[in-house]
């Protein structure tokens, strides 16, 4: 399954309080993400690995690494942040990634202590709290780099990919093309197409359809809007094309899906 680009304007995000049963589709984003499971469990897929995490386990996701989560009655501590908050570690962040993203045992204790402090500081929503959070984030990254095994992350076109995904995320509902995308990003059409196919595993049109399907699924699950309205809302010119793409991808029509609300993403 192709990853959807998660675009955030905030430089630091933290997990909500309480226990949650929620599933996130395959995502890719330019932030670093640390998650510690307090209770319950989470099925996590990161890069080419999948594991069920329980209380006391941690997962680390570096920039532009595809990942997805399914939290099951879980309480967790998460801090997601812009790598630019750690200028002293720019070289390491850009050039490497954890050899194995899931952590347990002794390595977790020190990292989790710092993670919780960053999480608590952020909850204050004050200027001082934000500065303290940034300090803990730098300690967190430093401790991770010192205590874990990292490997080279061959991500030569990460910045280009970020611009491509951001544009697609903001414009997939419109009648866009690889030509307009390449012109906006400032690269050739051929290079643009190569980046998309090599990093996302689909061509441009397939990826746009994926983004539209994600949005359609949300609307089918959470609203009573007519299917024709949803088809137009997510970027299709008519319901017939929308129904055809939906059926080809999921094996059911949008109306059939709305009745059953199967877990399709």
The CATH code of the domain that includes 32 is: 2.60.120.280
**Within 10 A of 183 (CB to CB), how many other CB atoms are there?**
13
HEC profile of 172-221 = CCCCCCHHHHHHHHCCCHHHHHHHHHHHHCCCHHHHHHHHHHHHHHHHHH
Question: In terms of domains, do 129 and 35 share one?
Answer: yes
Does 2 score more than 60 pLDDT? no
Question: In terms of domains, do 32 and 143 share one?
Answer: yes
Burial (CB count within 10 angstroms: exposed 0-12, middle 13-18, buried 19+), residue 180: middle
Question: In terms of domains, do 191 and 143 share one?
Answer: no
The better pLDDT of the pair 148, 235 is held by: 235
pTM, two decimals, is 0.70
Question: In terms of domains, do 15 and 104 share one?
Answer: yes
CB burial string 196-209: b at 16+ within 10 A, e below = beebbebebeebbb
Does 85 score more than 90 pLDDT? yes
**Mean of per-residue pLDDT scores for the chain:** 89
Domain of 248: which CATH number? 1.10.10.60
Does 229 score more than 90 pLDDT? yes
- Please say whether the beta carbons of 153 and 62 come within 8 A: yes
Question: In terms of domains, do 46 and 113 share one?
Answer: yes
Q: pLDDT tens for residues 151-199? A: 987 665 667 887 888 889 889 999 999 999 999 999 999 999 998 888 7
Predicted local distance difference test score (pLDDT) of residue 3: 57
Question: In terms of domains, do 8 and 128 share one?
Answer: yes
The better pLDDT of the pair 238, 27 is held by: 238
Predicted local distance difference test score (pLDDT) of residue 105: 85
Residue 250 within a domain: yes
Residue 170 within a domain: no
Range of the domain at 230: 177-260
The better pLDDT of the pair 199, 228 is held by: 228
Predicted local distance difference test score (pLDDT) of residue 118: 97
Residue 231 within a domain: yes
Question: In terms of domains, do 147 and 190 share one?
Answer: no
């Amino acid at each position: 399954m192709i990853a959807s680009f998660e675009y955030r304007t905030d430089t630091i995000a933290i997990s909500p309080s309480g226990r949650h049963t929620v599933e996130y589709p395959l995502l890719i984003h330019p932030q670093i993400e640390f998650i510690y499971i307090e209770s319950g469990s989470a099925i996590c897929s990161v890069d080419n690995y999948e594991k069920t995490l329980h209380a006391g386990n941690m997962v680390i996701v570096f920039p532009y690494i595809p990942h997805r989560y399914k939290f099951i009655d879980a309480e967790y501590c998460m801090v997601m942040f812009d790598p630019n908050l750690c200028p002293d570690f720019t070289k390491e962040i850009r050039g490497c990634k954890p050899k194995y993203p899931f952590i347990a045992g002794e390595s977790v204790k020190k990292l989790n202590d710092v993670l919780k402090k960053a999480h608590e500081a952020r909850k204050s929503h004050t200027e001082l709290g934000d500065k303290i959070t940034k300090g803990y984030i730098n300690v967190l990254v430093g401790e991770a780099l010192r205590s874990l095994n990292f490997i080279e992350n061959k991500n030569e076109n990460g910045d280009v990919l970020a611009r491509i995904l951001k544009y697609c995320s903001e414009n997939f509902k419109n009648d866009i093309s690889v030509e307009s995308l390449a012109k906006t990003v400032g690269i050739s059409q051929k290079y643009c197409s190569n980046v998309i196919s090599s990093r996302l595993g689909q061509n441009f049109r397939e990826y746009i359809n994926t983004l539209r399907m994600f949005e359609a699924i949300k609307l089918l699950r959470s609203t009573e809007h007519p299917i024709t309205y949803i088809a137009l809302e997510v970027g299709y010119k008519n319901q017939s094309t929308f129904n055809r793409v939906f059926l080809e991808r999921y094996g059911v029509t949008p109306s059939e899906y709305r009745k059953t609300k199967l877990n399709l993403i």
